Structure 1
């Protein structure tokens, strides 16, 4: 079985963090989320640090101003958990991650999706002590944000078509020759999500587990396949990156990916 991040499902998981994480602890989150979660922490807290930019230069400047801490807690969507991941990589501190929606698989990936000279780069390496999926927290996110997470899995279909097409043309990258084993493994997660579309649409516990388990595998397989993304994404992600680059504006990840 491929190694994936230790993932815990339950309720009241954020409030429990203060009872066991290393102290003092630094919370990395989004400014708009902090009012909601601030009361879950005690005098062991330093920060918080609000994730505002994924630009490498901005992250390095923020890194210089971090207060002393013994661990990092990331709470939020892709930007927050990737910022926490980047800081954990640069400081070599233990990391605990709490996604607040199902919109992306970033919480399950080893590298942080940063921006360097306006281009997407996947940088660093961090493995959290655990990822905590709180049903109440996920269900409180806007439904369209949660549902957009299926696009992280639906794009496997495009990736498989693109990879097979490149193979037929003899244009596969030498380091990523077509591998039916990887395609079949990805297809299992694709089929799992397709089987539970109604549950994911309802954002019930069954749907949360189905989509998060698929993203758990998908986030880790990039590393587990030798940094090979061919079985989990195709032209869809490049359309998203191009849109972001040319418009200079952020997007809800799943929407342009699924559009493509």
Structure 2
């Protein structure tokens, strides 16, 4: 499951093996221009620019029949490729160009309906091709943000304990909980490899994504990786209507929600993001202080209205005093 090939220069080799098939090559315009020389002219290229379900459905209706789908890019390209593969019941190969998000290893598709995330469908890729050279050629901010969907275990595990104690969802499974804690330990203990995007650092993050994806598929929940930090991120997207770098946004939300869970927990998050060089200042994430404030004021209600899994957002209310304090820390 989630068969992954690692190496340098392997994306070009993969594309050459596929050029005699009818391939729908899903990417974004900037990536098409950057990597045009390794993309066979025979591929039917489709550039996407958002994940709204109605938009993708329209593209799908206009696109000719193919044998296979290839997703080449970050989370948007990968999830869009999964969508087309799902709609057409076709095999799908995914080639991430950055490790900014865990979409390759997430079997559902993260669509948007009126800017609100919704998970639909089920796609297990035929192959995931991780080309170290392509990953390292991405802007460092994209790659560093990839820690977000691993760092999120830090707050998600806390929320899972709350859920289990309240009897509001699956009880904590020690095997899953302990493995997620060990993954966090590896993350916190190898900041130099992550900051330098060494082969080891890249593989560490991708292996963590794979574990989350496999266990999420087998258990049909991801409470060990998704909790109040993701719910706050979804609230931010809904309130602000912006397309933000997912992993960096989630990392900022891990800081905020870990502080909300228990004062002092955010200190480990701060040390980690500072060590790898990932900024979680609202302005660097693409947000104003007022936008973060508006999202925090909305977060409790958003979680309830969207029937999100039980978390600290169900146990206590975010106050103006908390908002003022955490924004002061993030500036």
- 1:153 equivalent to 2:150? Answer yes
Instruction: Quote the residue 2:34 is aligned against.
Output: 36
Whole-Å separation in 2 of the counterparts to 1:28 and 1:156: 30
TM-score, normalised on structure 2?
0.73
Task: Answer 1 or 2: higher relative contact order, Cα 8 Å, separation at least 6.
Answer: 1
Rg comparison, structure with higher value: 2
What secondary structure, in the 3-state scheme, does the structure 1 residue paired with 2:152 have? helix
What's the CA shift for 1:189? 2.0
Whole-Å separation in 2 of the counterparts to 1:212 and 1:41: 24
Instruction: Quote the residue 1:197 is aligned against.
Output: 191
Whole-Å separation in 2 of the counterparts to 1:113 and 1:220: 17
What's the CA shift for 1:61? 0.4
Unmatched segments (≥5 aa) in structure 2: 254-331
Contact 1:70 1:93 in 2 (8 A): yes
1:148-192 deviation per Cα after TM superposition (whole angstroms, max 9, x unaligned):
111211110111111112333x2422xx22222221122222222
1:126-167 deviation per Cα after TM superposition (whole angstroms, max 9, x unaligned):
111110000110001111111111121111011111111233
What's the CA shift for 1:68? 2.1
- 1:140 equivalent to 2:134? Answer no
Instruction: Quote the residue 2:227 is aligned against.
Output: 234
1:206-260 deviation per Cα after TM superposition (whole angstroms, max 9, x unaligned):
11111111112123322122x2121112110011000000000111112221112
Contact 1:118 1:245 in 2 (8 A): yes
Normalized per residue, which structure has more helix? 2
Whole-Å separation in 2 of the counterparts to 1:75 and 1:177: 37
Whole-Å separation in 1 of the counterparts to 2:74 and 2:198: 19
- List aligned pairs for 1:39-50, cutoff 5 A: 39-46=37-44, 48-50=45-47
Whole-Å separation in 2 of the counterparts to 1:179 and 1:193: 21
What secondary structure, in the 3-state scheme, does the structure 1 residue paired with 2:135 have? helix
Alignment partner of 2:48 out of 47, 51, 69: 51
- Give the RMSD, CA atoms, in angstroms: 1.4
Alignment partner of 2:172 out of 152, 164, 178: 178
Whole-Å separation in 2 of the counterparts to 1:64 and 1:39: 28
Number of equivalences: 252
What secondary structure, in the 3-state scheme, does the structure 2 residue paired with 1:210 have? helix
Contact 2:16 2:40 in 1 (8 A): no
Unmatched segments (≥5 aa) in structure 1: none
